[in-house]
Structure 1
């Protein structure tokens, strides 16, 4: 059989974006779309962050492994064109669940999903695979990390960051003075420090093949379903048996996998902390819709807010993110809220600490109130959203 991937010396590194998770912690925003397709910062989608980082880092082979509700995500990806990843030999590749080989079918966790793509990576001729998720806000050049990975002959490079959040939500890393990773503790009850994995892993493909095949053989599991989450299986094995080093991510990094974290990240954007949307030379790239500029009426009052194209503001907006197509009528007030798009805030409505999904019906009167602490965010979703709906039905 002919080689499906003709030899190309430029083909050495593949970026594998694991975009198949259900994102249940971000419900109800993920009830009608995959987590990477969730709108963020007004006009963007969450997957734009990782794709922009990869494009700016010069990586040309980007594979997106999908599973849960891929329709919205695929519409947005548009074959990779917005990120200049629509090449013939190199570019964006969609990896949907399939049947026909033992490695395929629906994954039982991100470790299993990684195992499922291994034979394809080998056939492609990849030497290094960069494994990333789409749960985080950060700006990071992968070039220096890849250089270190090759120079040190690492089997695995773990990109790390010091978090000011609860470390028990992440994989906690211990590192020796020479940068060798000595321990990886996945979501520990009693974390030993605040240095965590930033969910960016640079694997040597040959080492990954050896490790996963050994683990599945020990479990008598040729399909690899027992690999589950790689934080519980693959990564601990690498730390114990292989050459593993860290590469420190300097700068802001935010996990936004929960409603509270999602809301907090948007408030930080308004305070000009976290993701730098206007960073010179490193713009956040998206598949933008053709919409007219935002309209701010002479009667409107707007302060410390992000207003997306297509929005029309006649009322009061304060410390909020306003998505495409949102209308704030005269006599309405929006404070410390995130409106994702295509919604009308009627006269007399007052929103405080609210996330309104695309197409949500916003009632007149008061909704939500500003209260400190987690779990106090009011989330509005379309009333007619059914179990089989996708957010295209609301026009965003």
Structure 2
């Protein structure tokens, strides 16, 4: 048996809430630092065009990946590579994975959007819990927040 000491940020992301919380911690500045020159991130991700943000877009507190097009409203969210947020769509407190398309009229709150999902118009997600949106744009999982577990500050503060 060997001991491996670690003094930095670590979190078990084995549940949907923990996975989502780790992403929200990055946005809050309490998670892993993605811009640390002493700890570069080496990735096999393909080279993509820079993210495109149109004049119709509204972005507040977000990370937007390469290859993404944002024309809608993105608040406190992480948008994965090649995702599309159309004009008239709203994404709040979400993790949008690679290649997902959020169509005009969609309103997403506190959700993880699956890889290559196509999310049509309508509200998905709730203020007091987490939802997972599947590839068909449907809610595949929903659970109330576990307040005994780690949560982002903006959720803890409203409870």
> Which TM-score band applies after superposition, normalised by the shorter structure?
0.7 to 0.9
For 1:342 and 1:294, how far apart are their aligned partners in 2?
13
RMSD: 1.1
SS of the residue 2:119 aligns to: coil
Contact 2:92 2:110 in 1 (8 A): yes
The alpha-carbon deviation at position 361 of structure 1 amounts to 2.1
Is residue 2:115 matched to residue 1:355? no
What is the aligned partner in structure 2 of residue 256 from structure 1?
Answer: 13
Match status 1:343 vs 2:107: no
Correspondence for 2:55 among 293, 298, 306: 298
Alpha carbons 1:361, 1:380 under 8 Å: kept: no
| TM-score, normalization by structure 2 | 0.81
Tell which structure's C-alpha radius of gyration is larger. 1
Please give the alpha-carbon distance, in whole angstroms, between the structure 2 residues aligned to 1:346 and 1:382. 13
Deviations 1:32-82 (A, max 9, x none): xxxxxxxxxxxxxxxxxxxxxxxxxxxxxxxxxxxxxxxxxxxxxxxxxxx
Contact preservation (8 Å) 1:305, 1:319: yes
Which of 348, 354, 377 is residue 130 of structure 2 equivalent to? Answer: 377
Give 1 or 2: higher strand fraction: 2
TM-score, normalized by length of structure 1? 0.34
Q: Would the aligned equivalents of 2:94 and 2:109 in 1 still touch at CA under 8 Å?
A: yes
Q: Give the deviation of 1:353 after TM superposition.
A: 0.6
Alignment correspondent of 2:23: 266
Whole-angstrom distance in 2 between the partners of 1:280 and 1:286? 15
Number of residue-to-residue matches in the alignment: 136
Residue 321 of structure 1 is matched in structure 2 by 78
Find 1:289's aligned residue among 46, 59, 63: 46
SS at match of 1:253: coil
**Aligned match of 2:3:** 158
Unpaired segments ≥5 residues, structure 2: 137-159
CA contact (8 A) 1:252 1:274 kept: yes
CA distance in 2, matches of 1:333, 1:361: 14
Q: Is the 8 A contact 2:104 2:120 kept in 1?
A: no
Does the 8 Å contact 1:315/1:328 carry over to 2?
A: yes
Runs of 4+ aligned residues of structure 1 deviating over 4 Å after TM superposition are: none
Please give the per-residue CA displacement for 1:98-145, whole angstroms capped at 9, x wherever unaligned. xxxxxxxxxxxxxxxxxxxxxxxxxxxxxxxxxxxxxxxxxxxxxxxx
- Pick 1 or 2: higher relative contact order, CA cutoff 8 A, min separation 6: 1
Question: Following the alignment from structure 1 to structure 2, what is the Cα–Cα distance between the partners of residues 253 and 290?
Answer: 28
Distance across 1 between alignment mates of 2:66 and 2:24: 19
2:103–2:118: 8 Å Cα contact kept in structure 1?
A: no
In structure 1, stretches of 5+ residues that fail to align are 1-155, 160-247, 384-396
Residues in 2 aligned to 1:319 and 1:265: alpha-carbon distance in whole angstroms: 13
Equivalent runs, 1:1-396 vs 2, <5 Å: 156-159=1-4, 248-371=5-128, 376-383=129-136
Pick the structure with more helix per residue.
1
CA shift at 1:290, angstroms?
2.1
Partner of 2:115: helix, strand, or coil? coil
